[in-house]
Amino acid sequence: MNHILIVDDEEDLRKLLSDYFEVNGYAVMTAKDGNEALRKLEKQPDIVLLDINMPEMNGLDLCRKIRSFVSCPILFLTARLEDADKISGFQAGGDDYIQKPFSIHELGARVEAHLRREMRNRQKSSVRFSEELAIDYSERALYGYGRHIPLAKKEFDIVELLSAHPGMVFDKERIYERVWGPDEEGESSVIAEHVRRIRNKLKEHGCEGWIETVWGVGYKWRKS
């Protein structure tokens, strides 16, 4: 079953497209804006239908933000289709355009065509998005506003552990056991020093506040 993400601020259109693709055997996710789409993209859809004209973060900005981490086809839905708009969309990383109002059957056929091409060779990576950060777990890389944040191995291990369980509190002993291994011996102060370094690197890239201290207990990753 192919997974499709529909991003559009028009509720009626989201419902129409969702019903159509579900009837045709797709697993459907929807998002009403760019920020909600970032959360849904962590589930790695096979194709994205993306409205261009959305408030706050428009479709072109969202496409630019995610394209380095998302390899699936992105089809723009737009009411305008001037040459300049097409060029902007392709430069942002889009794969195709369909103009509103459109034939839903034509849209379905285009989606199928793009998915057939993708089936030839596709690799997925596990990525977590937020407005500021992108964490690529497969590449073991952290990005703040699109810039790579260099982390030492153990530093990324801590980020990986905490960010994979946002809102969950980990005490220092548990973090040490999970990152260094149950057979290793060390002091919990080592965790505090690693967290300090991670926070400094995040701060340098304008991404503060992701690792929160729970006094007397440990640390947790902030929910986005």
Say how many C-beta atoms besides its own lie within 10 A of residue 215's C-beta. 5
Q: How confident is the model at residue 70 (pLDDT cuts 50, 70, 90)?
A: confident
Query: Residues 8-41: pLDDT tens digits?
Result: 999 999 999 999 999 999 999 999 999 999 999 9
Q: What is the largest CA-CA distance in the chain?
A: 64
Query: Residues 126-159: pLDDT tens digits?
Result: 788 888 999 998 889 999 998 999 999 999 999 9
Separation of alpha carbons 35 and 14, rounded Å: 16
Could you tell me if 33 and 8 are in contact, meaning their C-beta atoms sit under 8 angstroms apart? no
Per cent of the chain over pLDDT 90 is 61
Q: Name the least confident of 115-124, 185-194, 207-216.
A: 115-124
Give the per-residue pLDDT at 138: 84
Give the per-residue pLDDT at 175: 92
Torsion sign (Cα): 77, 82, 85, 91: positive
Residue 124 has pLDDT above 60, yes or no: no
Structure tokens at 164: 């994979």
